[in-house]
Amino acid sequence: MRRLRFVLGDQLDRDLSSLRGLDPATDVVFMAEVGAEASYVPHHPQKVVFILSAMRHFAAELAAEGITVDYVRLDDPANTGSFGAELLRAVERLRPEAVLVTEPGEWRVLEILQDARETLPVPLTVLDDDRFICSRAEFATWAEGRKSYRMEFFYREMRRKTGLLMEGDAPVGGQWNFDAENRKPLPRDARLPDRLRFSPDRITGEVMDLVRRVFPDRWGSLDGFGWAVTRSDALRALEDFATSALPGFGDHQDAMKAGEPFLFHGLISPYLNAGLLNPREVCLRAEREWREGRAPLNAVEGFVRQVLGWREYVRGIYWLRMPDYARTNALEASRPLPAFYWSGETEMNCLRQCVGDTMAHAYAHHIQRLMVLGNFALIAGLAPAEVEAWFLAVYADAYEWVELPNVHGMVLFADGGVLGSKPYAASGAYIDRMSDYCSGCRFDPAVKSGEKACPFNPLYWDFLIRNEARLAGNPRMAMPYRTLSRMSPERRAEIARDSERILSAL
Ligand code: FAD
Ligand code: DLZ
Ligand code: SF4
């Protein structure tokens, strides 16, 4: 039986469910570069180049194995530009008896495939994506009957299930979580590891030319493109992280430094999300560094928690709650996204730095996304849909299944507390403690009101005041609301005045 095996751009894994049992004598792998996927948000050109180049490399590797790959390029004159129409064209061209595809990461693409099923003359089977450690069904079982979902409990289940960092039934080191050790700012004289980046090869160079030609006005720089586009290079990147940066990952996980976006971070999310790396192998690689005495437990446990805990958890929440999840707006935030998220032109140095890193690398690390770019969006009351579209466009690792829960849930609390128990709102003091941004800023994090005051300060209190009815009853918000309750009417009026001035100037 001749099967068409449709592989999407973020499914570049030789062990993918839709590639299993492939018979090279009869079956054909189908891949398509389509304009619609590059344009449903204006993706950073590094993201588009990364995916298209990784797709072309993957197709070439399959072909080298003797597998027939039917590959439609973006600039093929016959390319219709969408998954649905290209799949139909492929079925008409190749005449398979059945089509197999691994479930897509995004709800949007699942709907496209469901629509395609109606028009295709042959059956289309959607298979589980077992690259994840926790299947959608397993997550739904875990979630069933729980009043609230909390990542920490889910994570413990995943540790037990995988045996990662376990000694029998107990967590190694006697604790599940070593975060208390992981909140150190970066010392001024800290030595940062040199990070392995990759020069574009011939295929990547061709894709860069193509993307420049087809999407000439895209926001974001292509000049510094340094992502791996093959599994073997992604493995080299993992090895580089494990041996050079992982030991410092825990201590400085939350630190930020001007001009240094990578610090001790993994730089592996684009590879994990596109299928070039697998979450199990990534966790095992990190665990080995601890077992062999080269990396401390706080670093390795902190890292494993991100991959085994957060990454699997947000994917579980996404599929459990979509499509309604994206539509909620629990804090009724409605302000338009300020232009500086694109231009970087703002006097707030922290935001300028984080937008600049994003523009240059299609990357910013977690705390830059959460506590600077996200925190500002939260306390300024920016409209969730606009913030989400920005985060989905600008990062090389962004797909809705992981972006949406992080932005809608973790950052904006627009889900009303499904994903996290409280909003991560913070004033300028947090950014000052964890970064060197404030020393290069025209505002002062220690000043609470007036022209010189760090805008995060009045906006933080204004956010709490605006949302008092919704948040004051949250036990995890008790402390700031106690402080607020002691605030004089004059101080409250000052906060309202300063916030109004800042917000109306956005
Ligand atoms: P490291 O800091 O080295 O962490 C290791 C790995 O853990 C990451 O590669 C990633 O796979 C995983 N991880 C860490 N935190 C999370 C998390 N909160 N959710 C899911 N996985 C996590 N991650 C994406 O992959 N795609 C996104 O579109 C995305 N959008 C985000 C938006 C916001 C507002 C926030 C706060 C976080 C977002 N994250 C997203 C999570 C996290 O910021 C990135 O995974 C991380 O910065 C990637 O860089 P790294 O590989 O150097 O990560
Ligand atoms: C993100 C993306 C882009 C930019 N381009 C393509 C493409 O041309 N062809 C393709 O198969 N996939 C692409 N992707 C990834 C898809 O958007 C991805 O499969 C969905 O986001 C589902 O997770
Ligand atoms: Fe950001 Fe405020 Fe620090 Fe300026 S003073 S860098 S606005 S936190």
CATH of the domain at 118: 3.40.50.620
Domain assignment present for residue 383? The answer is yes
Tell me how far apart the alpha carbons of residues 407 and 41 are, in angstroms, rounded to a whole number: 16
Residues 372 and 444 in one domain: yes
Mean pLDDT by 10 residues, the chain (506 residues): 96 98 97 97 98 98 98 98 97 97 98 96 97 97 93 97 97 94 88 96 98 96 96 98 96 95 97 98 98 97 98 98 97 98 97 98 98 98 98 98 98 96 95 96 96 97 97 95 96 96 94
Q: Tokens 């140095």 correspond to what residue?
A: 349
Gap from CA of 351 to ligand 2 centroid (Å): 29
Structure tokens at 94: 């190749």
Residues 113 and 140 in one domain: no
Domain assignment present for residue 330? The answer is no
Domain assignment present for residue 373? The answer is yes
Domain assignment present for residue 329? The answer is no
Closest atom of ligand 3 to 454 CA is 2
Gap from CA of 382 to ligand 2 centroid (Å): 28
Run of H or E residues at 69? strand 68-72
Domain around 348: 340-504
pTM greater than 0.85 = yes
Q: Which residue among 355, 371, 432 has the greatest number of ligand 3 atoms within 8 angstroms of its CB, and so is best to mutate?
A: 432
Which residue's CA is the closest to the ligand 3 atom numbered 2? Answer: 454
Which residue's CA is the closest to the ligand 2 atom numbered 15? Answer: 9
Run of H or E residues at 171? strand 170-171
Which residue's CA is the closest to the ligand 1 atom numbered 22? Answer: 311
> How many domains does one find in the chain?
3
Residues 270 and 217 in one domain: yes
Residues 356 and 483 in one domain: yes
Please give the C-alpha separations between residue 477 and each of 106, 245, 280, 470, 484, in angstroms, as whole numbers: 33, 35, 36, 11, 11
Collapsing DSSP to helix, strand or coil, 170 comes out as: strand
Domain assignment present for residue 326? The answer is no
Tell me, using a 6 A CB cutoff, whether residue 373 lines ligand 3: no
Domain assignment present for residue 327? The answer is no
The two beta strands, 170-171 and 166-167, are antiparallel
Residues 93 and 192 in one domain: no
Tell me, using a 6 A CB cutoff, whether residue 86 lines ligand 2: no
Structure tokens at 307: 């991959």
Tell me, using a 6 A CB cutoff, whether residue 316 lines ligand 1: no
Q: Which residue among 37, 43, 211 has the greatest number of ligand 2 atoms within 8 angstroms of its CB, and so is best to mutate?
A: 37
Which residue's CA is the closest to the ligand 3 atom numbered 7? Answer: 348
Q: Tokens 């958890």 correspond to what residue?
A: 313
Residues 34 and 85 in one domain: yes
Run of H or E residues at 5? strand 3-6
Domain assignment present for residue 331? The answer is no
What is the pLDDT, as a whole number, of residue 126?
97
Gap from CA of 403 to ligand 1 centroid (Å): 9
Gap from CA of 487 to ligand 1 centroid (Å): 37
pLDDT tens string 238-275: 999 999 999 999 999 999 999 999 999 999 999 999 99
> For residues 387 and 350, is the Cβ–Cβ distance under 8 A?
no
Gap from CA of 34 to ligand 2 centroid (Å): 8
Closest atom of ligand 1 to 262 CA is 52
Gap from CA of 168 to ligand 1 centroid (Å): 29
Which residue's CA is the closest to the ligand 1 atom numbered 40? Answer: 403
Closest atom of ligand 1 to 370 CA is 36
The torsion angles phi and psi of 461, rounded to 5 degrees, stand at: -70, -35
Tell me how far apart the alpha carbons of residues 378 and 384 are, in angstroms, rounded to a whole number: 9
Gap from CA of 137 to ligand 2 centroid (Å): 24
Residues 150 and 267 in one domain: yes
DSSP annotation of 373? I
Does 323 sit behind a cis peptide bond, omega within 30 degrees of 0 on the bond before it? yes
CATH number of domain containing 240: 1.25.40.80
Tell me, using a 6 A CB cutoff, whether residue 338 lines ligand 2: no
Residues 349 and 469 in one domain: yes
Q: Which of 93, 127, 161 is the last residue of a domain?
A: 127
Residues 144 and 19 in one domain: no
Tell me, using a 6 A CB cutoff, whether residue 406 lines ligand 1: yes
Q: Which residue among 7, 47, 51, 69 has the greatest number of ligand 2 atoms within 8 angstroms of its CB, and so is best to mutate?
A: 51
Which residue's CA is the closest to the ligand 3 atom numbered 3? Answer: 438
DSSP annotation of 382? B
Tell me, using a 6 A CB cutoff, whether residue 399 lines ligand 2: yes
Residues 6+ apart with CB under 8 A from 113: 83, 84, 101, 104, 124, 126
Burial of 449 (0-12, 13-18, 19+ CB in 10 A): middle
Domain assignment present for residue 32? The answer is yes
> For residues 502 and 455, is the Cβ–Cβ distance under 8 A?
yes
Gap from CA of 37 to ligand 2 centroid (Å): 5
Residues 6+ apart with CB under 8 A from 493: none
Q: Which residue among 306, 313, 355, 413 has the greatest number of ligand 1 atoms within 8 angstroms of its CB, and so is best to mutate?
A: 306
> For residues 28 and 2, is the Cβ–Cβ distance under 8 A?
yes
